[in-house]
Amino acid sequence: MTVPYFDLKIQYASLRDEILQAVDRVCAGASFVLGDEVAKFEEEFAAYCDVSHCVALNSGTSALHLALLAAGVESGHEVITTSNTFIATAEAISYTGAVPVFVDIDPITANIDPNLIEEAITDRTKVILPVHLYGRPAALDPIAEIASRHGLTLIEDACQAHGARYRGRRVGGFGQSAAFSFYPGKNLGAYGEGGALTTNDPQIAEFARTLRDHGQTKRYFHDFIGYNYRMDGFQGAVLRVKLRHLDEWNTRRREIARRYRELLEGAPVTLPQDSADCECNYHLFVAWTAERDEVREALAAAGVQTAIHYPRPVHLQRPYAALGYRAGSLPHTERACEQVFSLPLFPEMAIEQAEYAAETLAGLLQERTAALQEVEA
Ligand SMILES: *Cc1c(COP(=O)(O)O)cnc(C)c1O
């Protein structure tokens, strides 16, 4: 059996008629940029996230950038975030002229450790930007409490967390604003680039709407230097179709995750833990082992594809060398980058494929342990 890491083609086959009709509506109406489908998607996604506003954009990176600008972040400021993330989280901070301050992760959750945030706060800190990595919400209540005690703004990087819940509430409305990505591989993926900013603050929404469209408040009247961060009409139309399936897809992802956990119980590998606080959307199912590279190779040889999210922490990436972090600065984050690997997980995979992947992994871990014990004996 082969188990691909990911496959978007199966999903298209199941949605083809709906998608083609939606794309046809955009072409017939010639609303290729923003337009009716995008406006409707904004309403529907805001309702889905249980927030009052959604501003559709051309990427998650743009959403992070506008969220930070809306919070007044600029040169001279610091933004506290995690280094165990996709680099866009930090890039968006850099676009504003501010400096990212990386706090180590809690190794159980792989998200920013709330207990380490306070010691990173200075008089330049403006925002705390937790990431809901792999679709697992960060410790939002403790983080919000720290932010409010220090007069800081909370912004969520929810780019991997569509539909995930923290203490019963969907992510996207816990801070001043949140950023979502609709990159094709995300749980809610467009057919191209896409993103959104969500907020309960009408002024933040208005600011983001203006900035995404060259700072214009009236056609050809510009109040700020803005950007071209608008969402395409096609993406709005496709996302509306796909949003109707998101909950069922996330449920399916959780089922596959549960099966992985059952079959890997007791195996010498660290699995993502569910907690009473968090309903994860299982964007990724990420396991840890010290023998990650050998294990991945053996899995690949058995037909099971895996991936690494992420192999190098942001603080050790070349563009951030000048910040002065070095190997050992953030030990848990660095260990994650050495040990994590992502098992195949997408809603259309057969449960037999997940079972094969888990049994193959359990089997080869057992062989390796037995071989090791022989050497020791
Ligand atoms: C995907 C992602 C982004 C960036 O989103 P794009 O739509 O690719 O710009 C930002 N942060 C995280 C955590 C992501 O996974």
Per-residue pLDDT of the chain (377 residues; tens, 9 = 90+): 999 999 999 999 999 999 999 999 999 999 999 999 999 999 999 999 999 999 999 999 999 999 999 999 999 999 999 999 999 999 999 999 999 999 999 999 999 999 999 999 999 999 999 999 999 999 999 999 999 999 999 999 999 999 999 999 999 999 999 999 999 999 999 999 999 999 999 999 999 999 999 999 899 999 999 999 999 999 999 999 999 999 999 999 999 999 999 999 999 999 998 889 999 999 999 999 999 999 999 999 999 999 999 999 999 999 999 999 999 999 999 999 999 999 999 999 999 999 999 999 999 999 888 887 888 77
pLDDT at 376: 78
Establish whether residue 88 lines the binding site of ligand 1, counting it when its CB lies within 6 angstroms of any ligand atom. yes
Considering the entire predicted model, what is its pTM? Answer: 0.97
Which atom of ligand 1 has the smallest separation from the CA of 183? 7
Domain 8-103+111-243: which topology?
A: Aspartate Aminotransferase; domain 2 (3.40.640)
Tell the burial category of 91 from Cβ atoms under 10 Å away from its Cβ (0-12, 13-18, 19+).
middle
Establish whether residue 61 lines the binding site of ligand 1, counting it when its CB lies within 6 angstroms of any ligand atom. yes
Which atom of ligand 1 has the smallest separation from the CA of 88? 10
Report CA(89)–ligand 1 centroid distance (Å).
7
Domain positions in the chain are: 8-103+111-243, 246-376
Nearest to 239 by CA among 171, 188, 196, 183: 188
Report CA(343)–ligand 1 centroid distance (Å).
20
Establish whether residue 180 lines the binding site of ligand 1, counting it when its CB lies within 6 angstroms of any ligand atom. no
Establish whether residue 189 lines the binding site of ligand 1, counting it when its CB lies within 6 angstroms of any ligand atom. no
Q: Which amino acid is at 324?
A: G
pLDDT at 370: 85
pLDDT at 307: 98
pLDDT at 328: 97
pLDDT at 368: 84
Structure tokens at 121: 């706060």
Gyration radius from the chain CA atoms: 21
What gap in Å lies between CA 98 and CA 103, rounded to an integer? 16
Q: Which CATH superfamily is domain 246-376 in?
A: Aspartate Aminotransferase, domain 1 (3.90.1150.10)
pLDDT at 129: 98
6, 57, 61, 155: residue to mutate for ligand 1 pocket, most atoms within 8 A of CB = 61
Which atom of ligand 1 has the smallest separation from the CA of 194? 7
Nearest to 59 by CA among 183, 241, 189: 183
Yes or no: say if 156 and 130 are a contact pair by the CB < 8 Å rule: yes
Which atom of ligand 1 has the smallest separation from the CA of 160? 15
Report CA(60)–ligand 1 centroid distance (Å).
5
Establish whether residue 159 lines the binding site of ligand 1, counting it when its CB lies within 6 angstroms of any ligand atom. yes
Strand partners, 228: 213
Q: What are the two backbone dihedrals, phi and then psi, of residue 100, each rounded to the nearest 5 degrees? A: -75, 135
Report CA(73)–ligand 1 centroid distance (Å).
19
136, 159, 314, 333: residue to mutate for ligand 1 pocket, most atoms within 8 A of CB = 159
Q: Which amino acid is at 160?
A: Q
Structure tokens at 292: 């990650």
